[in-house]
Amino acid sequence: MTSPATTASATAALPDYAPIPRSALGPALNEQGYFVGRVERNLYWVTDGVYQSAFLTTPDGVVVFDAPPSIGHNLRRAVEEIAAANGVPNTVTHLVYSHHHADHAGASSLFENVVRVGHEETRRLLLRDNDPARPAPEVTFADRYTLEVGDERVELAWHGPNHSPDNIFIHFPDHDALMMIDVVNAGWVPIYNLNLSEDVPGYIAAPATALSYPWSHFICGHLGRLATREDVAVHQAYIADIEANVKEALASVDPVPFYMRYGENFWAGVKAHLDTVTERAVAPVIAKYTGVLAAADIEVFTRTTTFAIMQSFRLDSGPSGLVHP
């Protein structure tokens, strides 16, 4: 067991970071550790400050969108709170998966006897994972699906892989809202490797697709407030600056000295070359966005995101280098 003295010593050694811009923070949580608020009309969102979910109340029951385990039973409490206040049924009849990842779906099994809806790839991946906390959806679709419950309409669409192979866009046309998870963080930088995304070109393209929809309220899946169209534009600018710096660094950093220095240790040469390209691209982005996007000065986030984008340029866009004569 770790002693208090050891814990205090470890805490004292932790680094300090820039103050969080007040604009990045959301409303205070209640005593149970959650906040539930109205998006528009009968669409609501729930957050624990780190994760987000949403639900739609109807005369025929409640539709839940994602069930993050960190919110867990508080999602049920939020539904019951709103249903009681508005005099509507609190029975959850449908649960929609944005994608298969456990951090957004791991409390799904708390809702029994519901119709689960998701992309066909979500079903395949959940059957593969065989996680009892995330039952596979029974209702699936390939490209488009309109969910209709109690005279309410929700448009689900898959526009290709981005954060994950199955991540979808959830549009609420009658509520001026869009839900797309794990791409844009409202007021914050992405964490490691573009929010741990699997398809870099798809991730980079997804915000433009989001902006092609009509909406004013954006449920992005993380942190303590809803996003705006301006938040999406700032995110795009951050990524565009990384892209521009990566292109410049790839073109200007000469790899030869690194390989000459390490001789037969080819992987050491590769590391030195790519680390130098990454660091040259990272520094100006961190300087520009500290104080603009929360956690921009947590260097490892921007560095790993930059490394992922640089590798995507080399491997997805090409060419990775000159063709040997």
Residue 207 pLDDT level (bands cut at 50, 70, 90): very high
Asked if the model's pLDDT at residue 324 lies above 60, the reply is no
Say how far apart CA 112 and CA 123 lie, in whole Å: 17
10 compared with 234, residue with greater pLDDT: 234
Model's pTM, two decimal places? 0.93
Average pLDDT in the 229-245 region?
A: 97
**Tell me, what amino acid is at 28?**
A
Report which of 121, 167, 119, 125 is spatially closest to residue 144, judged by C-alpha positions.
Answer: 119
Kindly state the tokens that stand for 321: 């280098």
Burial degree of 3 (CB within 10 A; 0-12, 13-18, 19+): exposed
Kindly state the tokens that stand for 125: 């991946």
Asked if the model's pLDDT at residue 7 lies above 70, the reply is no
Q: What is the pLDDT of residues 36-78, one digit of tens each?
A: 999 999 999 999 999 999 999 999 999 999 999 999 999 999 9
Inter-helix orientation angle 299-312/266-289, to 10° = 120
- pLDDT in the model for residue 317: 79
Q: How far is CA 49 from CA 53, 80, 137, 262, 278, in A?
A: 11, 20, 27, 47, 31
Average pLDDT in the 118-135 region?
A: 97
- pLDDT in the model for residue 314: 83
- The three-state secondary structure class of 271 is helix
- pLDDT in the model for residue 97: 98
The edge-to-edge listing of strands for the beta sheet with 61-65 is 35-40, 43-47, 52-58, 61-65, 92-96, 115-119, 139-141
Say how far apart CA 184 and CA 210 lie, in whole Å: 10
Asked if the model's pLDDT at residue 152 lies above 80, the reply is yes
**What mean pLDDT is reported for the chain?**
94
Contact by Cβ (8 Å): 158, 100: no
- pLDDT in the model for residue 6: 62
Average pLDDT in the 139-157 region?
A: 96
Q: Which helix (H) or strand (E) holds 35?
A: strand 35-40
- pLDDT in the model for residue 236: 98
- pLDDT in the model for residue 9: 65
Residue 319 pLDDT level (bands cut at 50, 70, 90): low
**Sign of the dihedral defined by the CA atoms of residues 263, 265, 268, 270, in that order:** positive
Kindly state the tokens that stand for 264: 């037969």
For strand 115-119 and strand 92-96, is the pairing parallel, antiparallel, or unpaired? parallel
Least confident of 41-50, 136-145, 262-271: 262-271
- pLDDT in the model for residue 194: 93
- pLDDT in the model for residue 276: 93
Average pLDDT in the 134-158 region?
A: 97
Say how far apart CA 201 and CA 219 lie, in whole Å: 22
